[in-house]
C-alpha cells in the first residue's frame, strides 16, 4: 500500500481517507493501562494540515477476530486520536460495510471500525492491475507479486471454503420439514449464504474487471437484521435461500435461489418485453439474443395485467415453435424470465459435490452463456417525413366551363366580369339552369 499508489487509493478511498502522502508501519507498540499492546500495523495518510490514521489487525487461515482484542485497539485509537481501526481476515461479512465481529457500540462513537476480507483485497488488486491499470511499471510488478502471493494456497488468504458446521443438519431438517425459526443454528446458515453471495460477487467482479455487489434494499442496508429475518422465514417456510447480485450495465440483476427441498439451484433474470409488435414478434426478439444459450434454459412469458405464472417452455422447443410461449395471441406480453438450473451440492465444503462450488459454477455459466448477451429493448427513434412533391396541373387541363354547382362566392372571389357581348349567352344559361356562374378551377 505504501508503494503502489493506485492500490492504496482503491482500498482507502471508501473509508473516507484523504488522497495524500501514505506511510505504513508494523508492530507499533502502545500502552493501554498496565498492558502492552502491539497492533499488526498502522496507516497514516497526510494531506496538507489533515492527517488520517488507522490501526490494522490481521488474521490469516481459519483464525477469527476476537472482540476483546478489537475493543482494546479501539480504546488505543480513541486515546491517540486516531480515526479508524481496520481488520483483515478470511471472514466475509454478509453485507458490504458490516463487520463480522460484534463489539461494544459505545467504543465506535469516536473511532470507525472497518473490515477487509482477503478475498476483497485480492479482487481489488486484480481489478487495479488487470483492468484499471497501474501507471508505474515497477509498481505494477510489485502489485502482481502481491496477487501471486495471495493466490498461493499457503499464504493463509483463503477463499470461502465452508458453509459452517450446522449446514448439513439444517439442510436435512428443511428436507424433513422439522426446521423451526427458533433453531439456534439457522441464523448461522443464513449468514453463510449471504456471505456466499458476497463472495460470488467479488469473484465475478474480479473476472469482469468491475464492481459486482449483492442487491439489498435501503432498509436491509441500514438494518442487516431485516435481511437475515427475511432469509430465515423463506428457509423455514418454503425451504428456499435466495438473493440477487447486480452487474453494472447488465440487463437485470441475477437472482439466485437454492431450493433445499428439491435439491436444485436456479439463476434467473427478468427482462421487459418490447412494447410494440405482435406477441410472436416479441418472443422472436428474445430468442434471437439467446443464440449461444443451451436448449435447457427455461423461458417464461408474462401477460400484461395478469397475475400468477405465465406460459413456460424450454428454449430448445421455443426455437422451433415460438407460439409455445403465447397463451393468448390477443393479449400483450409484458415481460420474460430467463432461468438456468443445476443440481445443488450437499456438502458443506468446497470441491465436487459441495454447495459452494455448485452455486459459483451456476452463476459463472449463467452470466457467460445468457446474461452477457442480453440487451434491453429500446424503441426506434422517430424519422423525419419525406417531403411531398406537389405536381402542378398544366393550364391546358384546367376547365373554365360554367357549372350549376358553382356558388356566388366563387364568382365574386376571383372570376372575371363577363363582357357585354356575352350577355345573350349568359341570359340563355340563366333561363335554362336558374343561375349561371363561371366554374371554379380544380
Report the pLDDT value the prediction gives residue 98, as an integer from 0 to 100.
79
| Average pLDDT estimate for 413-433 | 48
- What local confidence, expressed as pLDDT, does residue 259 receive? 92
What are the CB-based long-range contacts (under 8 Å, 24+) for 170-173?
Answer: 170/235, 171/260, 171/346
Cell (9 digits) for 113: 471500525
pLDDT digits (tens, 9 = 90+) for 243-290: 999 998 899 999 999 999 989 999 999 999 888 888 888 889 999 999
Range with the largest mean pLDDT of 63-67, 151-155, 329-333 = 63-67
The chain-wide mean pLDDT, for the chain, equals 84
> Looking at residues 163-182, what average pLDDT do you find?
86
pLDDT tier at 400 (50, 70, 90 boundaries)? low
List 256's β-bridge partners, or say none.
243, 267
Judge whether 201 and 185 are in contact, CB under 8 Å: no
Higher pLDDT, 384 or 416: 384
User: How many C-beta neighbours within 10 Å does residue 296 have?
Assistant: 11
With bands split at pLDDT 50, 70 and 90, how would you rate the model's confidence at 427? very low
Stretch 351-372: mean pLDDT = 90
Residue (of 163, 40, 146) closest to 92 by Cα position: 163
Helix (H, G, I), strand (E, B) or coil at 298: strand
Query: Which pLDDT band, with edges at 50, 70 and 90, does 429 fall under?
Result: very low
User: pLDDT value at position 58?
Assistant: 93
Predicted local confidence at residue 46, as pLDDT: 92
Beta strands in 18-154 (DSSP E): 21-26, 30-32, 35-37, 41-47, 50-58, 84-89, 112-117
Residue 309 in this model has a pLDDT that exceeds 50? yes
What does the pLDDT read at residue 57? Answer: 93
Residue 254 CA to residue 200 CA, distance in Å, equals 11
pLDDT of residue 426: 44
How far apart are alpha carbons 216 and 219 in whole angstroms? 8
H helical segments located in 81-222: 118-126, 137-151, 167-176, 186-208, 218-222
pLDDT of residue 431: 43
- Give the span between the Cα atoms of 195 and 206, in whole angstroms: 16
pLDDT for res 125: 87
- Name residues whose C-beta falls within 8 Å of residue 179's C-beta, 6 or more positions apart in sequence: 170, 173, 186, 235, 236
The DSSP string of 154-184 is TSS-----B--TTHHHHHHHHHHT---TT-T
Q: Which of 179, 196, 188 lies closest to 233, judged by CA? A: 179
The residues, any chain, with a CB within 8 Å of residue 190's CB and separated by 6 or more, are 228, 231, 232, 235, 241
Residue 434 pLDDT exceeds 70: no
pLDDT for residue 430:
44
Q: Where are the chain's structural domains? A: 5-151, 167-373, 395-433
List C-alpha distances in Å: 173 to 128, 166, 190, 239, 260: 44, 11, 14, 10, 10
Least confident of 197-206, 342-351, 415-424: 415-424
User: Distance (Å, rounded) from C-alpha 259 to C-alpha 255?
Assistant: 13
The larger pLDDT score, comparing residue 221 to residue 17, is at 17
The length of the chain in residues reads: 442
pLDDT at 150 over 80: yes
pTM over 0.85: no
On the CB side of 238, CA atoms within 13 Å amount to 10
Residue pLDDT, tens place only, 322-337: 888 888 877 888 889 9
pLDDT digits (tens, 9 = 90+) for 117-130: 888 888 888 888 87
3-class SS shares of the chain: helix, strand, coil, % to 5 = 40, 20, 40
User: What is the arithmetic mean of pLDDT over 51-79?
Assistant: 91
Q: Which helix (H) or strand (E) holds 318?
A: helix 315-320
Q: What is the CA radius of gyration of the chain?
A: 37
**pLDDT over threshold 90, residue 205:** no
Give the relative orientation of helices 137-151 and 118-126 as an angle to the nearest 10 degrees: 140
Averaged pLDDT for residues 410-420: 52
CATH number for region 5-151: 3.40.1350
CB-count burial class (<10 Å; 0-12, 13-18, 19+) for 115: buried
Amino acid at each position: 500500500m505504501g508503494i503502489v499508489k493506485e492500490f492504496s487509493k482503491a482500498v482507502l478511498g471508501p473509508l473516507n481517507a484523504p488522497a495524500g502522502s501514505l506511510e505504513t508501519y508494523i508492530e507499533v507498540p502502545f500502552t493501554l493501562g498496565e498492558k502492552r499492546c502491539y497492533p499488526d500495523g498502522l496507516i497514516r495518510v497526510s494531506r496538507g494540515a489533515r492527517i488520517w490514521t488507522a490501526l490494522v489487525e490481521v488474521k490469516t487461515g481459519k483464525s477469527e477476530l476476537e472482540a476483546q482484542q478489537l475493543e482494546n485497539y479501539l480504546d488505543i485509537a480513541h486515546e491517540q486520536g486516531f480515526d479508524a481501526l481496520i481488520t483483515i481476515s478470511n471472514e466475509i461479512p454478509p453485507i458490504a460495510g458490516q463487520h463480522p465481529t460484534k463489539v461494544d457500540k459505545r467504543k465506535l462513537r469516536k473511532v470507525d471500525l472497518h473490515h477487509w476480507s482477503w478475498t476483497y483485497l485480492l479482487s481489488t488488486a486484480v481489478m487495479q492491475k488487470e483492468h484499471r491499470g497501474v501507471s508505474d511499471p515497477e509498481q505494477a510488478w510489485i502489485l502482481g507479486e502481491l496477487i501471486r502471493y495471495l493466490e498461493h494456497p499457503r499464504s493463509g488468504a483463503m477463499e470461502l471454503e465452508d458453509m459452517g458446521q450446522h449446514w448439513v443438519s439444517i439442510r436435512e431438517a428443511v428436507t424433513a420439514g422439522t426446521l423451526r425459526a427458533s433453531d439456534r443454528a439457522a441464523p448461522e446458515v443464513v449468514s453463510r449464504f449471504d456471505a456466499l453471495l458476497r463472495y460470488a460477487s467479488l469473484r465475478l467482479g474480479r473476472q469482469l474487471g468491475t464492481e459486482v455487489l449483492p442487491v439489498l434494499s435501503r432498509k436491509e442496508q441500514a438494518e442487516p437484521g431485516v435481511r437475515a429475518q427475511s432469509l430465515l422465514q423463506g428457509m423455514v417456510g418454503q425451504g428456499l435461500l435466495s438473493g440477487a447480485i447486480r452487474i453494472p450495465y447488465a440487463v437485470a440483476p441475477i437472482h439466485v435461489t437454492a431450493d433445499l427441498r428439491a435439491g436444485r439451484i436456479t439463476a434467473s433474470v427478468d427482462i421487459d418485453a418490447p412494447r410494440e409488435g405482435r406477441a410472436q414478434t416479441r418472443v422472436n426478439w428474445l430468442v434471437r439474443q439467446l443464440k449461444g444459450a443451451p436448449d435447457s434454459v427455461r423461458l417464461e412469458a408474462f401477460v400484461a395485467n395478469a397475475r400468477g405464472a405465465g406460459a413456460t417452455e424450454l428454449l430448445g422447443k421455443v426455437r422451433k415453435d415460438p407460439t409455445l410461449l403465447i397463451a393468448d395471441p390477443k393479449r400483450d406480453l409484458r415481460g420474460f424470465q430467463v432461468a438456468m438450473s443445476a443440481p445443488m451440492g450437499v456438502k458443506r465444503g468446497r470441491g465436487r459435490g459441495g454447495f459452494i462450488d455448485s452455486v459459483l459454477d451456476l452463476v459463472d455459466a449463467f452470466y457467460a452463456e445468457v446474461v452477457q448477451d442480453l440487451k434491453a429493448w429500446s424503441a426506434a427513434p422517430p424519422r423525419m417525413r419525406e417531403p411531398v412533391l406537389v405536381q402542378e396541373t398544366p393550364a391546358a387541363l384546367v376547365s373554365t366551363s360554367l357549372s350549376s354547382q358553382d356558388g356566388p362566392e366563387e364568382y365574386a372571389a376571383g372570376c372575371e366580369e363577363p363582357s357585354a357581348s356575352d350577355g345573350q349567352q349568359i341570359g340563355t344559361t340563366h333561363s335554362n339552369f336558374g343561375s349561371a356562374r363561371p366554374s371554379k378551377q380544380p
